[in-house]
Structure 1
Amino acid sequence: MVAPGRLGVGIIGAGRVGPVLGAALAGVGHAIVGITAGSDDDRVAAVLPGVPVLDAVEVVRRSELVVIAVPHDELPGLVQGIADLGGWQAGQLLLHTDPGYGTDVLSPAAERGAIPLAVHPAITFNGTSVDLRQLQASFAAVTAPAAVLPIAQALAVEMGCEPVVIAEQDRASYAEAIATATEFSRSIVQQSTGLLRSIGVENPGGYLSALVSSAVERALRDESDPLALPPDL
């Protein structure tokens, strides 16, 4: 796999995902040239100290690689809007992190010569440097045109993830799988902690921590091993 050269990286999206991925890329030698404003500038500054806060068009202008980490519904309009302003550059790498889209959503930029990549690290982000350790044990879904797929895979590796190729037409099913695992886990934990709290158990989250972690690990292990023994009675 051919790793990309050291790049000037701009981040559009200062929520939980963008700053962390910027820090991961900075950790392997890339230069973070700017990030858009967010709702928690102190948190972003702690993850990416000294990185200038710029508007999206200026981030694009300064960057060889643009990482877009914005809510699902905002992504198409953002890409089109920057295209309408003539922002995207020929040969510029453009990577988004949304699980539900492949690279078709980046078509307005690709039509202007940008190189479209989709990389979704499969973790739940907290938006702090703690996420960098989680990335080291995670996988990432990568989608890209065949000619540039090695670039997407290499960037996933540089973020700390093991890349898994997901076809463009399968991104919707992939996103459903991610949402199901995430939302089901959250709702079950909330229901269980609520029941424990109602009967007077203090710190129900802490009480269930080892149980939930071991149950999930067991379920994942059993899924990986079709010959696994049935759960203990």
Structure 2
Amino acid sequence: MNTPRPTTSAGSRPARLAVGVVGAGRVGPALAAALQLAGHRPVAASGVSDASRRRAAALLPEVPLVDPARVLAMSDLVLLTVPDDALPDLVRGLAETGAVRPGQLVVHTSGRHGVAVLDPARRAGGLPLAIHPAMTFTGTAVDVQRLAGCPFGVTAPEELRLAAEALVVEMGGEPEWIPEEVRPLYHAALAIGSNHLVTLVAQARDLLTAAGVQNPGRMLGPLLGAALDNALRSGDDALTGPVARGDAGTVAAHITELRRHAPQTVASYLAMARATADRALANGTLKAEAAEALLGVLADGGPADGGTA
């Protein structure tokens, strides 16, 4: 394998790189902009949709939009920031057409994939890195600021670990090394914590609006902030509420009201309540004697006696 370009200098700073972006979605332009702040030079990006073009224009002004092959031809480091399912075909196509150059850093930002997906590029002489920022992106300049202290899930060949670490640090992030074989598990954990959280919060907002609350966000903010902080600090010991207490009647009332006003939320309520009950039972928060009626309500999807609450 060729020696990677971003070797450290006497000042312990990686060599300056020409950076290209294939896939100007929410992630790629922000990472390239962060690398620019560190002294690297964004030189090209590819994007098809109007939204991609707007993002590139806002975050990478004066950087030309060209086709992916041209991006690679202009770049020392190329960021492949396309959807997970599109990544294997993209890498294979770029390698088969000779777009990948020996010694070129080929970096993807998929959470699911490690470096194996970059094998076609590696066989062409590319230097493969998997660098996944554990952050939700908006596609705006605020993302660049949020990268400060952001953990990155990093997978790299042993000989490229220093190069991967240097890039993450220069973007303001903190590398967390993820073995190749557990990348899907790592990504599932983040999806549960982030993507599902958005769905739950959006459902809570909708229900408060239906209940006549004028500013659902203001009501939820302190509660959810405290719950998140407690959960991160204490794990299952932070469980509170009617499920953790075994208040079967209250849970039954919730289900009745959800069926009446927001039936589309019943399935997720039941699924999360069952998962909460399991965890509360396991750590002793929910006592076995209080759990029987609760679990009966959750199994039936309604009041334990079949009536209304």
TM-score, normalised via structure 2 length: 0.71
2:16 corresponding residue in structure 1: 6
What's the offset of the Cα at 1:18? Answer: 0.4
**Within 2, Cα distance between the matches of 1:57 and 1:210?**
49
1:134 corresponding residue in structure 2: 146
**Within 2, Cα distance between the matches of 1:35 and 1:196?**
43
Higher relative contact order (CA 8 A, sep 6+): 1
**Within 1, Cα distance between the matches of 2:157 and 2:147?**
24
Larger CA deviation: 125-134 vs 37-46: 37-46
Structure 1 or 2: larger helix share? 2
Task: Say if 1:137 and 1:202 are closer, same or farther in 2 by CA, change over 3 A.
Answer: farther
Bigger Rg, structure 1 or 2? 2
1:168 corresponding residue in structure 2: 180
Q: Which runs of 4+ in 1 moved over 3 A?
A: 229-233
1:50 aligns with 2:35: no
What's the offset of the Cα at 1:38? Answer: 4.0
1:20 aligns with 2:30: yes
What's the offset of the Cα at 1:232? Answer: 7.8
TM-score, normalised via structure 1 length: 0.93
1:186 corresponding residue in structure 2: 198
Q: Which AA in structure 1 matches 2:231? A: A
1:202 corresponding residue in structure 2: 214
Local SS of the residue matching 1:172: helix
Deviations 1:103-140, CA, capped at 9 Å, x for gaps: 00000000011000000010000011101121103100
2:99 corresponding residue in structure 1: 87
**Within 1, Cα distance between the matches of 2:73 and 2:107?**
15
What's the offset of the Cα at 1:4? Answer: 2.5
2:75 corresponding residue in structure 1: 63
Structure 2 gaps, min length 5? 1-6, 242-309
Q: Which AA in structure 1 matches 2:47? A: A
**Within 1, Cα distance between the matches of 2:227 and 2:98?**
51
**Within 2, Cα distance between the matches of 1:35 and 1:78?**
15
Percent of matched pairs sharing the same residue: 44
The answer to whether the Cα contact below 8 Å between 2:45 and 2:56 also exists between their aligned partners in 1 is: no
**Within 2, Cα distance between the matches of 1:230 and 1:217?**
9
Q: Which AA in structure 2 matches 1:170? A: V
Task: Say if 1:53 and 1:164 are closer, same or farther in 2 by CA, change over 3 A.
Answer: same
Larger CA deviation: 133-142 vs 92-101: 133-142
Aligned length, in residue pairs: 229
Backbone CA RMSD of aligned residues? 1.8
The answer to whether the Cα contact below 8 Å between 1:79 and 1:106 also exists between their aligned partners in 2 is: yes
